[in-house]
Structure formats: structure tokens, C-alpha cells
Chains A and B, each alone.
Chain A
Amino acid sequence: MLKKSVVENTLSAALGTGADFAELYMEQTKRNTIGVVNSKVEAVQSGLDYGVGIRLFFQNKAIYGFTNDTTEKNLIRIAREAAAAARGDRVYTLQGWNRMEFSCRNPIRVMPDEVEKRQKAEKLFLAAEAAKKYSPLISQTRTGCLDIIKDVFIANTDGLWAKEQRVRSRFTVEAIASSATEKQSGHLGPGGSVGFELYDQIDVEEQAREAARIAVTMLGAKPCPAGRMPVVIENGFGGVIFHEACGHSLEATAVARNASVFAGKMGQQIASPVVTAVDDGTISNAWGSAAMDDEGMPTQRNVLIENGILRSYLVDKLNGRRMGASPTGSSRRESYRFAPTSRMTNTFIENGKSTPLEIIAKTEFGLYAKRMGGGSVDPATGSFNFAVLEGYMIRSGKIAEPVRGATLIGKGMEVLMQIDMVGNNLARAQGMCGSISGSIPTDVGQPMLRVKEMTVGGRG
């Protein structure tokens, strides 16, 4: 990593431009990926990401530069170029260092770089075989694994000097079922802030069979009827609804610009009283966890909505200045290529009082979204959309025939108010979340819940 004198000289040069705050973020990330298509290795990649990002604040204005030429001369050049776009009215001086020691939240048992790639590939072959064997209708499989070891170093002119090693592993499986005219796919992607022990925690064959089951079920499914109806969303990845419909609009990135439907609503009822939602970056070994955020603040558990009342936004340092709010340990970035900003970590709706059985039984007619696909939202308008990966109709309080091609659309505020039942089977699932500071690992989660009425798009 960088020499102390290089860090000090770079930050001093940054302050010399009149900035009132400067930060240096450095990372070196070792990554390995293997992709297997139809039981054959399709791609193997190993690599090293390496670079430095320098950020300067001039009050509420931010300047960012990054490079992977980490010589002192170049770092100072990047820091000084900022002066072309901004000027401060006084020059601050560098203070002493305050070394941060973080307790390890995510103990790793087997470092992924100590495991031979052949051993990792074996897991993928196993999964591919299991998916294939599940049904003769399975025509293709894609399996993959990813592991990263990311060493992060952050120093800033408030005296912060902090380091963290972040290890993550993920397994992915996709099974495609085909008939003469149709193809349907099912996929799963469990992972965590764990090493190779991930494969002791999950059974790759079981994951593969589940992906195959979804694909085969959907192949036989009729198109989903369209219209407004009650929708029951299952736990785990179903939490993407909250992530998209509400989470993004609670990020200070949107709130500070007054580009969020939730701006100015603190303390107000923004969701039905049965909804309590949390963003928690401290969960041990979870996919979205870390000891510190990407500006060196310890992560924390933030209650966003309590019984329907808005309690907290997700705030980073810069937007905190703009909003006059304290940061919440939520500042994240994909890599040194991105200035950090407020993002989610592990975000979920808390358990409620209903049981899944009760929720289905009390629904006369509607859609049961057992597994959700991805979605997106526009924080400015609150409009979102989700794909339903595996769906069923609910008829007379019972889960009936499978349906495919369903999309859920709506506006965050409206849907949050429409949630009328929350189950007690909270589970989380892993995803990659893309936004202005890049693509980052996040957990979504929820128990089963029911939205009284929402728009379902489909072809039936």
C-alpha cells in the first residue's frame, strides 16, 4: 500500500487548493471468476484491480479524481487539478492521524485464494449435472462462481486512517427449460462476506435443482392475467420490492437534491403501520456487510421506517453537509473509480405478525409472486417495476396455477401504504445494486407480505 509520506503529501497538496476536506481511498482487489455453460468451462478470469481515488470538498461542492498510477507525483497532480474547478477561501492544514481499529465483522474460514480453481470448478460441474438431471426439459445450464479479496485503505484530513480487508464469495446457477417453442429460465445466486466455506453453507446441487424447478414450472405456465389485484410477495428476494420502491428514494443522493418523493417527510407516515424497515451493514458475514463504509465510518443498523413512520434516510458525508444531517455509515462505492455516496447495505422489512398460511388463506383472488426477478425505480417519480420470475394465481385462498411473464408496477409511496399483511418468515437474498457510485453487493429481504392492490402487467 502507500507510504505514509505519500498519503500526507497528497492530502496536503489537496488542502493547498483551498479544499476544507480531502480524502484518499486506495484499493487493491484480487478477483477470480469461473463460468461454466452446459458442464463445460466457458471462461476463467483472474485479475487485480488497483487504484486510488482522491476526493476534495469545498463546502458542499465535491471534486473527485482517480488513477491507477499511484506515484506521488501523479497523485499530487490529480489533487491539484481540482483547483481549476473550485476555490476555497482559506487553506486548512493537515492534522495528526487517528488510527481506526475495526472489529472483524466477517471472519473468514477459508481464504478463496488458497483454494485451487479446479476445486471451485468441481462445484460448478456438480451443480450443472444436478440441474440437468432434474428434468429432460432442462436444455441449458449456466453456473458460475466469483470470489474477491478487496483491501481498502482510507485516510482523510479529519485524521482518519483506516484499513479493511473485505472477502466475498458468490455462487450462481441458471437453468433453462425448453419446449419446441418456448424457453424459460430460473436462477439463484447465494453469496456472502465469506470465503470458500460458502460451499459448506449451501448445497450447490439443491440450489441447481431449485433453479431447474422454477424453469420447468414456468415453462408449463400460462401467461399472467393483467390488471389491478392483490399481490402476495414471498420472502427473500421478494424484498427487492422495498429495495427498489423505497430504499433508493431514502438515499441522501436523491433526498439532498430534492429529487425523492420522501424528501421532507421525516417523522411522517409513509408506509402502512405494519411496515418496519431496516438497513443493517453490521450483520455478520452478510453479502452487504463491512466493518466500515467507503469513507471510513463504522457501519451501523439504521431503522428507516418504524411502524410506517419515516425515521431515517441513508446519509453519506457530502449529502449530510448538504442536508444538515449526520452520516449513517452508508457511503459506498463499487471501486476507486467512483466517488462514494449513500447506498443500501443489507436492507429488509422486519417480521410482522401474520403467518404465510394465513396471508394466502385470506386472499380470495390475486397473484402470488413466489420469486421476484430484478427491477428498477426512478427516485424522482417513485415509479418502479419488477419482473416476477415465478408466479402463481391465488384462487379461493389457495395457491393455484403457475403464471409467467408478470410484471409488478407502481409508485413507492402508494405500494408502501397498500401493504396490509406482513408475515413472520423473514429471509434475505443477495443481489448487485447499480447506481451512481457503481455496482455494489447488497442484500434484500422481507417476510411474506401482501399488497392489497397493485398493477400487474402480463399477457393473459
Chain B
Amino acid sequence: MERQALQKQIIAEALQAGFTDCEVFYLGGESFEVLLMEGEVSNYENSSEGGISFRGTYAGRTGYAFSERLEEESIPFFIASAKENALLMPPEEQEELFAGEEYPPFVGYYPELEQVCVEKRIQLAKRMEEAALNGAESIASLDYCVLGIVKKEVSIINSLGLDVSYTKNFASGYVSAIARRGEETKKGSAFWKGTDWALFHPEETGRKAARRGAALLGASSVKSGSYAAVLDARAMTALLTSFSGIFFGENVQKGFSLLKDRLGEQIAAPCVTLRDDALLAGGYASVPFDSEGVAGKNKTILEKGSLKTLLYNRKSAKKDGVASTGNGFKTGLTAPVKTACTNFYIQKGGKPLSGLFAEMKNGLYITDFMGLHAGTNAVSGEFSLSAEGFLVEGGKIVRSVEQITIAGNFYTLLKDILVVGEDLYFGAGGKGTPSVLVKTLAVAGK
């Protein structure tokens, strides 16, 4: 059975089986990836996949079920499981389906990206690898050198008449180089992600990774104490990503965020403007609509440090008596509709990195945090993270730093940002920030 016909068939049979409304969400895609090792293809992957997630209202409650077996025989499974699951749910958690609205124009699919032949793709990866290996004298080997293309397709059909879909694709290259001097080993990485091969400069990406790894050599710890710090755009992005959930309406409602009743309050420094923009041109997380069919929007979450809005899906928006911000997403087939960010970023300021160093004079330049999944408390905002970077004296980098942990609280950190840099960076997931200068952080070293 053709996929869209299957989606419609499930809806018809579910309505017959007693569901008062229902929705069939399809998520599919294709991906290609090539991994190089020592000038040779070491792994190569090519895949196609698709699955369906069903949700519907039964006896006034919402039930879910999913399957990657896209066959007519799966329909009884969807219906029976979703019914049993619905009956366990409290009625007040019922999710109302959406009939749709006007959508912004969206271009996310670039067929020419996939038309570059496999040999050419492998060539690009090899150029990136070579540049990384030769990018600095201390580069001993590569940790990873990967090139890939991912295509994603979303289609939502529901019993209220919603029938929308989009396709998007991206190419990406990632390289991680190992620098060695004596017994010391450091790693540097760089990536490119885009929709036009002509904008991919494999040599540049490769050299960047090599230089980053080489620069970290000669590292030692610093004395424990309080330090002013410049958090590099990549490190700050990782931290912001870990705590992005504090801005979700549903987390606030459930007590998993400390932002309850803080709307309109100054919760960050005036230099901080934070956005979530589903429509950002070329944004890695741009979408025309979310997983509930709500149109994508550009929201200002923090305007000059003042909390303007939280991010909502339809259910959490209804609880707060506001409109959905178009942030109701399923992170995958197995996930129910929750809240997620789109292009979520701190707007850039006016100073270059060197300007941040000059302003700081003495302190630390942190380029990487490790262990974010374990060392952060998303509820209290506390973090204690292993980090690396550089020691800055008199506004200049003097040496690299390792074996330190940085402890702090994200809520406090937002207020302690003194300057926002101009080097806005986006991680592959669409979250980003420029580098920031922070008043003080607790550092444990020797």
C-alpha cells in the first residue's frame, strides 16, 4: 500500500473503532555517510527509513502508538495499543488536534545536493582529511573524518483535515584531529553543514580542526579559585543547549524550571537577546510547521535580558492561556509531542573575540565543556563540568589549560554575562551563541 494511502486508511479505521479524532505522523528519510581512515574509506553507510506515529482521542483521552512496519497488517496494532494507552492517561492531559492554518513559504530541499556522485563525495572527504593531517606539525592521526547527506521527510494527516508535509536535506562534513607531543594528546574538531557543495571548503574545515587540536598542546591546570572567563561560542552553545529546557512552558508548569511567574522580569544581563526562530534563512532547524501542524514563528525569548515568552506546544499553551509558539515537536517516532527548540540562539553583539579578551584582561578562555549529560542539573541550573581552554593574561592567550572543572549556576551565569561577541556560531542542531565574557566562574584545578 502506498504510504499516504496507508496514513488515510489508519485514520478511517481508527474512527470506525471509536476514536473521536486521530492523526498519523510520518517521519522518513534517507542518509548517506562515508567515514575515512588513513586515506581509505573505512565505513560507508546508505540507508532509507520511515515510520508512523499515531495519536488519537479515545474516551476523551489521548493514546499513542508507533510502528516502523509500514504495512496494512500494522493497523490493528496501532488501534489496539493506542486504545489501551489512552485509557491509562488522565483526561485533563488530552491533546487537541489542529486543523491547520496559513504557512510561510519554505525551501528546505535541494535535490542537486544529492546529485553529486559518490566518488566526488569521497574525494571531498579525502581533501578534508588531508588538510587536517597536514594542518599542523603535531597532528598524529585523525579521530574521525566523516562526510554525509541527510534527507528528512515529514507528513502529517489528521481527521480534522490537516494534510501537510515538507522535505529538507543537508550535507555535512566533520573532522576531528589528534595532536600529539610526547605523552600529551589533544583533540581538535571542526564541522561544516550546508545545502550547497560549492560553499564547502574541505581544506578550510580540515585545517581548522588541526589548528584547534595543536593549539591545546602544552596544557596544564590552573590554581583553584574564581576567574573571569570568556566562554567560546562552541562551549557556550553546549551549555545553552543543556539548559534550553528551562524556557519551555511545560517544564515551568511541572516545576522543572525556576522561571515560574517571571515573565517581564530581567533574568539575564541587558546584553543578552535570545531568540527561537523557526524561519531563519538557512537555519539548521528551520521548519515551516511543528509536529502538530502549527506554523513556525520567530520568537524573542529574552529581549535585552527580559523574559518575554516561554516556548509552547498546543497543550502547554492552553494551560497558560496563550497561543502555541509552534514548538510542539516529536523528537522521533517513539516520542510524544513535547516542546523543542528550532533555531535557538543568542543574538550577536559587536565585539570580536580579541575584544572580549582585551576587556577581560586576565582570566580563562574556555573552548570546551565535557560531560554535559551528567554534570548539569537542569532543574536547579547548577553545573559542574570538566573543561579545557586557555589562560589569558593582559588580554592575550599565554598557554593552554586542562584538567579543570568549572562550577556555576546557569541562571546566575545569564546575569553575569558582561559582553556578547560578534562570532555567532550554530551547532549542528540549530542552537547557537556568540562567545561571551562572564564576570566570574568557580574553577577547580590544582
Residues of A within 8 A of B (CB): 28, 31, 33-34, 37-38, 40-51, 60-69, 74, 78, 81-82, 84-86, 116-118, 121, 139-140, 176, 178, 182-185, 223, 226-228, 257-259, 261, 337, 339, 373-376, 378, 380-387, 405-407, 409-411, 455-459
Contact = CB atoms under 8 A, between A and B. Distances in A.
Nearest to A227: B224
Given A44-B63, A228-B446, 10 more contacts: A41-B90, A51-B68, A65-B46, A74-B48, A85-B122, A140-B256, A176-B379, A385-B370, A385-B375, A410-B403
30 contacts: A41-B88, A41-B93, A46-B81, A50-B69, A61-B43, A61-B44, A65-B47, A66-B45, A68-B49, A82-B46, A116-B84, A118-B87, A118-B88, A185-B377, A226-B405, A226-B442, A257-B141, A259-B143, A376-B373, A385-B405, A387-B374, A387-B375, A405-B384, A407-B405, A455-B221, A455-B445, A457-B405, A458-B384, A458-B407, A459-B384
A146 B246 CA distance: 26
A337 B29 CA distance: 12
B186 A381 contact: yes
Given A45-B65, A46-B65, A378 B370 contact: yes
B75 to A, nearest CB: 12
B64 interface: yes
Contacts of A68: 49-51, 68-70
Contacts of A48: 66-69, 74, 77
B37 A31 contact: no
Interface in B216-266: 221, 224, 254-256, 258
Contacts of B41: 61, 85-86
B74 A66 contact: no
A261 B180 CA distance: 12
A373 B372 CA distance: 12
A196 to B, nearest CB: 16
Contacts, number: 231
Interface in B291-336: 333-336
B386 interface: yes
Contacts of B48: 67, 69, 74, 78
B380 interface: yes
B70 A381 contact: no
B139 interface: no
B402 interface: yes
A206 B123 CA distance: 59
Contact of A261 (B81, B143, B185): B185
A108 to B, nearest CB: 21
A184 B385 CA distance: 17
A48 B47 CA distance: 19
A381 B186 CA distance: 6
A44 B386 contact: no
B437 to A, nearest CB: 21
B254 A37 contact: yes
Given A140-B256, A457-B444, A337 B49 contact: yes
